[in-house]
Amino acid sequence: MIITGNNVSKEFIRQGKGTNRFVAVKQTQIRIEEGKLTLLTGRSGSGKSTLLNMLAGLLAPTSGTVMYGDDDIYSLDDEKLSAFRMENIGVIPQGQTAVGTLTVIENICLSYMLKGADDRASVYSYARELMARFGIPELENELPSALSGGELRRMAIARAMIRKPGVIFADEPTCDLDDENTELVLKILKNTAENGTSVFVVSHEKDAAQYADFCYSMNAGEISAL
Amino acid sequence: MKLTESLSFKNIKGRPARSLALTILTAIMAASIVVGTVTVTSLKTGLGALESRLGADIMVVPASAASKKNFENIVLQGSKGYFYMDRTYYDKVAEREGIEKISAQLFLASASAGCCSVPLQIIGYDPETDFTVSPWIRKSTGGELGLLDVVVGNDLSVFVGDTITFYNVRCNVVAKLDKTGTDLDTAVYTNTDTIKRLIESSLELGMNDFRDIDPDKVVSCILIKVADDHPVDEVLNDLNLHVRRTKSFKTKDMISGVSDSLIGVSGIIGILMCAVWLLGLVILFLAFTLSVNERRKEFAVLRIAGASRRKISRTVVSEALIITLGGSIAGTAAGLLIMLPFNGLIEESMGLPFLLPEAWVIIVLCFAAIVVSAAAGAASSAYSAHRVSRLDAGLVLRGDN
Ligand SMILES: Nc1ncnc2c1ncn2[C@@H]1O[C@H](COP(=O)(O)OP(=O)(O)OP(=O)(O)O)[C@@H](O)[C@H]1O
Ligand SMILES: [Mg+2]
Per-residue pLDDT of chain B (401 residues; tens, 9 = 90+): 344 446 778 888 888 998 999 999 999 999 999 999 998 888 888 887 777 767 788 888 888 776 655 555 555 544 445 778 888 999 999 899 999 999 998 888 765 555 455 567 788 888 889 888 787 777 777 778 888 899 888 888 888 888 888 888 888 998 887 776 666 777 888 988 898 888 888 888 877 777 778 888 888 889 999 998 989 899 999 998 988 888 888 877 767 777 788 888 889 988 998 998 888 889 889 988 888 888 888 899 999 999 999 989 988 898 899 999 999 999 999 999 988 888 778 777 777 777 888 889 999 999 999 999 888 888 888 888 888 888 888 777 765 53
Distance of residue A185 Cα from the nearest chain B Cα, in angstroms: 18
- Minimal CA–CA distance to B379: which of B330, B308, B324? B324
A115 contact residues in B (CB cutoff 8 A): 4, 306
> Are the C-beta atoms of residues A193 and A199 closer than 8 Å to each other?
yes
The pLDDT, as a whole number, for residue A120 is 81
B121 burial class (0-12, 13-18, 19+ CB within 10 angstroms)? buried
> For residues A191 and A175, what is the distance between their CA atoms, to the nearest angstrom?
19
- Angle value at C-alpha B342, between B337 and B343, nearest 5 degrees: 110
Is residue A108's pLDDT more than 90?
A: yes
Nearest-CA residue of chain A relative to B3? A116
> Are the C-beta atoms of residues B178 and B136 closer than 8 Å to each other?
yes
- Minimal CA–CA distance to B169: which of B222, B104, B111? B111
Distance of residue A75 Cα from the nearest chain B Cα, in angstroms: 15
Helix axis angle for B296-304 and B256-294, nearest 10°, is 60
> For residues B161 and B144, what is the distance between their CA atoms, to the nearest angstrom?
16
Q: Measured between alpha carbons, how far is residue B332 from residues A130, B336, B381 in Å?
A: 48, 6, 21
Intra-chain end-to-end CA distance of chain B, in Å = 39
> Are the C-beta atoms of residues B337 and B366 closer than 8 Å to each other?
no
The pLDDT, as a whole number, for residue A194 is 94
Residue type, A76: L
Task: Output the residue whose Cα is nearest ligand 1's atom 8.
Answer: B395
Whether A48 lines ligand 1, by a CB cut-off of 6 Å, is yes
Residues 6+ apart with CB under 8 A from A77: none
The pLDDT, as a whole number, for residue B3 is 43
The pLDDT, as a whole number, for residue B178 is 73
Tell me phi and psi for residue B27, to 5 degrees.
-60, -45
B298 contact residues in A (CB cutoff 8 A): 99-100
Is residue A125's pLDDT more than 90?
A: yes
> Are the C-beta atoms of residues A200 and A5 closer than 8 Å to each other?
no
Residues 6+ apart with CB under 8 A from B386: B313
- Angle value at C-alpha B143, between B196 and B152, nearest 5 degrees: 55
Intra-chain end-to-end CA distance of chain A, in Å = 23
Pairing of β B121-125 and β B187-191: parallel
The pLDDT, as a whole number, for residue B401 is 38
SS3 B39: helix
Judge: A176–B401 Cβ closer than 8 Å, yes or no: yes
**Helix H or strand E encompassing B323:** helix B309-350
Judge: A123–B397 Cβ closer than 8 Å, yes or no: no
Q: How far is CA B385 from the centre of its chain?
A: 41
> For residues B333 and B34, what is the distance between their CA atoms, to the nearest angstrom?
9
The pLDDT, as a whole number, for residue B119 is 67
SS3 A162: coil
> For residues B122 and B187, what is the distance between their CA atoms, to the nearest angstrom?
6
If one compares A37 and A15, the residue with the highest pLDDT of the two is A37
Query: How many other CB atoms are found less than 10 A from the CB of residue A137?
Result: 12
Tell me phi and psi for residue B91, to 5 degrees.
-65, -40
Cβ–Cβ contact B313 with A under 8 A: no
The pLDDT, as a whole number, for residue B111 is 58
Task: Output the residue whose Cα is nearest ligand 1's atom 30.
Answer: A45
Task: Output the residue whose Cα is nearest ligand 1's atom 26.
Answer: A44
Task: Output the residue whose Cα is nearest ligand 1's atom 20.
Answer: A45
Cβ–Cβ contact B11 with A under 8 A: yes
> Are the C-beta atoms of residues B95 and B88 closer than 8 Å to each other?
no
Judge: B303–A82 Cβ closer than 8 Å, yes or no: yes
Between the CA of B380 and the centroid of ligand 2 the distance, in Å, is 35
Q: Measured between alpha carbons, how far is residue B114 from residues A155, A204, B111, B314 in Å?
A: 81, 97, 9, 67
Pairing of β B218-219 and β B85-86: antiparallel
The pLDDT, as a whole number, for residue B47 is 81
- Minimal CA–CA distance to A105: which of A113, A97, A117, A115? A113
B75 burial class (0-12, 13-18, 19+ CB within 10 angstroms)? buried
| Closest-approaching ligand to the CA atom of A17 | 1
Over residues A41-58, mean pLDDT: 92
CATH H-level superfamily of A3-225: P-loop containing nucleotide triphosphate hydrolases (3.40.50.300)
Per-domain boundaries in chain A: 3-225
The pLDDT, as a whole number, for residue B6 is 66
> Are the C-beta atoms of residues B27 and B328 closer than 8 Å to each other?
yes
Judge: A82–B302 Cβ closer than 8 Å, yes or no: no
- Minimal CA–CA distance to B254: which of B401, B387, B56, B20? B56
- Minimal CA–CA distance to A166: which of A88, A66, A86? A88
Tell me phi and psi for residue A26, to 5 degrees.
-105, 125
The 8-class DSSP code of residue A176 comes to T
> For residues B249 and B252, what is the distance between their CA atoms, to the nearest angstrom?
8
| Closest-approaching ligand to the CA atom of A171 | 2
The pLDDT, as a whole number, for residue B66 is 61
Residue type, B94: A
The 8-class DSSP code of residue A213 comes to S
Judge: A49–B309 Cβ closer than 8 Å, yes or no: no
Cβ–Cβ contact B13 with A under 8 A: yes
Distance of residue B295 Cα from the nearest chain A Cα, in angstroms: 9
CA torsion sign, B296 to B298 to B302 to B307? negative
> For residues A190 and A193, what is the distance between their CA atoms, to the nearest angstrom?
5
> For residues B47 and B259, what is the distance between their CA atoms, to the nearest angstrom?
7
> For residues B71 and B77, what is the distance between their CA atoms, to the nearest angstrom?
9
